[in-house]
Amino acid sequence: MAESFGLFLIARFMIGLAVGVTSMITPLYIAELAPPKIRGALVTLNQLAIVTGIVAAYGVDYLFCTLRQLGEQCSSAPQHHRSCYS
C-alpha cells in the first residue's frame, strides 16, 4: 500500500506510462522482427491476445461478483449490499 495519496498518484502515473509505452512498442517490435509473410498475422495475434485477456478478466470479475452475491443471499447476514460494487 502507498504511504500517501501523492505517492499513489505518482506510482499510478508511472505504471500507466509504462503500460502505454509497452503497448506501443510491442507491435512495432513484432513487425520489425517478423518475416514479411506473417508480419500482419503476428501483430493481429498480439492484439487478439490482449483483447482475449481483457474479456477473460471481465469474465472472472463477473464470476466473483456473482459468487459474492450468491453468498450474501444464502447467508443469514443482513442483505444491505444489493450491488457487487456497493
Q: What's the pLDDT tens digit per position in 2-56? A: 889 999 999 999 999 999 999 899 999 999 999 999 999 999 999 999 999 999 9
Q: Say how far apart CA 10 and CA 4 lie, in whole Å.
A: 10
| pLDDT for the residue numbered 49 | 94
DSSP string for residues in the chain: --SSHHHHHHHHHHHHHHHHHHHHHHHHHHHHHS-TTTHHHHHHHHHHHHHHHHHHHHHHHHHHHHHHHHHHHHSSS-----STT-
Phi and psi for 75 in degrees, rounded to 5?
A: -85, 170
Query: Is the predicted pLDDT of residue 83 greater than 80, yes or no?
Result: no
| pLDDT for the residue numbered 77 | 46
